[in-house]
Amino acid sequence: MPLSFRPLHPLFAAEVSPVDLRTVDAPETLAEIRQGMHEHAVLVFRDQQLDDASQLAFAQRLDGALHSKTGISAMTGNRFGNEALTDISNLDEAGEVLPPDDRRRQYGLANRLWHTDASFVDPPGRYSLLSARAIAPDAPPTEFADMRAAWDGLTPARQALLAPLEAHHSIAYSRQVLGFEFSAEEAEKLKGVVQPLVRTNPVTGRRALYLASHATRILGWSLPEGRLLLLDLMEHATQSRFVYSHQWRNGDLVIWDNLQTMHRARPFDDTRQKRDLRRVTTLAMPPGAASHAAGHTGHPGG
Ligand SMILES: [Fe+2]
């Protein structure tokens, strides 16, 4: 039976009809989900029973190559033993809440800034698949902004100015903005990459602003002017009319397209309440490039 998509917001995001993603491997069903991602940019699948292996396997069936963290997670440790699985929880290896001053917690706080996952590597992240394994009843939402609608909301003159621009992205920047410090060795690994400021979806033809708190500067512009432009665009793109707020339930798998959206976590009592979310992010490989699944070596990422 074909899947159906129930809109969750006037502009984007949809809840998909019941399906067990552990068993989805028919090419036509995977194609329906990819088409849904092109159109809705955020898809919500309820009541999933994914474990780490089935989450990783589904991400590879959906989109091939996976983003794999190195750097900070290699230095601080990843409790899953697989760098393609990103820990979005607030828990240590023993499953206890991280203390306030734990370096992993301090690093992860930058997920509360608006961003796209893995904009600081080339190829960049495409789909993020975030699985809710343990969510408190009053857990905070995750917010998503539709960057196509944000683009559509600009004047033609503004669009013409922005269309050819490029921005440099580094994950170190979004952390440094909050005062997080890196060693010289860490900083050397986090130099980042240049990305277009505007992207076009190859299937729908819609254009989207490509922004993130990882964006450090606009190429060819002075540092202050570039940063002012980025701040102005972030403010524009995150107006409430462009934002869908996802209220988590246990068993949710939310997939978002990092090339068409931004997102941010919201604060909660994270030094007391347990929260276990696990993320896999695929890479936007160039057409025709061989996908090399979980073996890709990328940079650390949130
Ligand atoms: Fe993120």
Per-residue pLDDT reduced to its tens digit, 44-98: 999 999 999 999 999 999 999 999 875 466 556 678 878 899 888 899 989 999 9
pLDDT the model gives residue 30: 98
Q: Percent of the chain at pLDDT above 90?
A: 76
Distance 259 CA to ligand 1 centre (A): 12
1 alpha carbon to ligand 1 midpoint, in Å?
Answer: 32
Domain for residue 76, yes or no? Answer: yes
CATH code (residue 139): 3.60.130.10
At 274 the three-state DSSP class reads coil
Give the integer Cα–Cα distance in Å for 165 and 154. Answer: 15
| CA 111 – ligand 1 centroid, Å | 6
Question: Quick check: is 294 in a domain?
Answer: no
Per-residue pLDDT band for 299 (boundaries 50, 70, 90) equals: very low
274 CA distance to ligand 1 middle (Å): 18
CA of 142 to the centre of ligand 1 (A): 10
**Pairwise CA distance, residues 166 & 258, whole Å:** 17
Output the CA 277–ligand 1 centroid distance in Å. Answer: 11
- Residue 63 CA to ligand 1 center (angstroms) comes to 18
Q: Is the pTM of this model over 0.85?
A: yes
Q: What is the 110 CA–ligand 1 centroid distance (Å)? A: 9
Residue type for position 232 = D
Ligand 1 geometric centre to CA of 265 (Å):
8
Top-ranked range on mean pLDDT: pick from 172-186, 229-243, 263-277: 229-243
Helix (H, G, I), strand (E, B) or coil at 39: helix
* Model confidence band, residue 294 (pLDDT cutoffs 50, 70, 90): very low
pLDDT greater than 80 at residue 23? yes
| 14 CA distance to ligand 1 middle (Å) | 19
Q: How far is the CA of 156 from the centre of ligand 1 (A)?
A: 30
- Residue 154 in domain: yes
Q: Stretch 21-25: mean pLDDT, rounded?
A: 97
Distance between CA 48 and CA 56 in Å, rounded?
A: 14
pLDDT band at 1 (very low <50, low <70, confident <90, very high): confident
Any domain includes 247: yes
Indicate whether 290 pLDDT > 90.
no
Provide the residue range defining the domain that includes 113. Answer: 5-286
pLDDT digits (tens, 9 = 90+) for 101-121: 998 888 889 999 999 999 999
Q: Please answer whether residues 105 and 290 qualify as being in contact, where contact means their C-beta atoms are separated by less than 8 angstroms.
A: no
Q: Which residues contact 224 (CB under 8 A, 6 or more apart)?
A: none
Rounded (10°) CA dihedral 57, 25, 50, 116: 60
Average pLDDT, rounded, for the chain? 92
User: Has residue 300 got a pLDDT over 50?
Assistant: no
Q: How far is the CA of 108 from the centre of ligand 1 (A)?
A: 9
Domain contains 298: no
Return d(Cα 94, Cα 89) in angstroms, integer. Answer: 12
pLDDT tens for residues 148-168?
999 999 999 999 999 999 999
In a domain, 251, yes or no: yes
* pLDDT for residue 138: 80
The answer to whether residue 144 is domain-embedded is yes
Q: How many whole angstroms from 145 Cα to the centroid of ligand 1?
A: 12
Report CA(302)–ligand 1 centroid distance (Å): 5
Q: How close is the Cα of 115 to the center of ligand 1, in Å?
A: 6
Provide the token pair at 169: 């992205």
Q: What's the average model confidence in pLDDT over 117-130?
A: 97
Rounded to the nearest angstrom, the distance between the alpha carbon of 263 and the centre of ligand 1 is 6
CA of 126 to the centre of ligand 1 (A): 12
Structure-model confidence comparison of residues 187 and 66, the more confident one? 66
What is the 157 CA–ligand 1 centroid distance (Å)?
31
Residue 262 lies in a domain: yes
* Number of folded domains that form the chain: 1
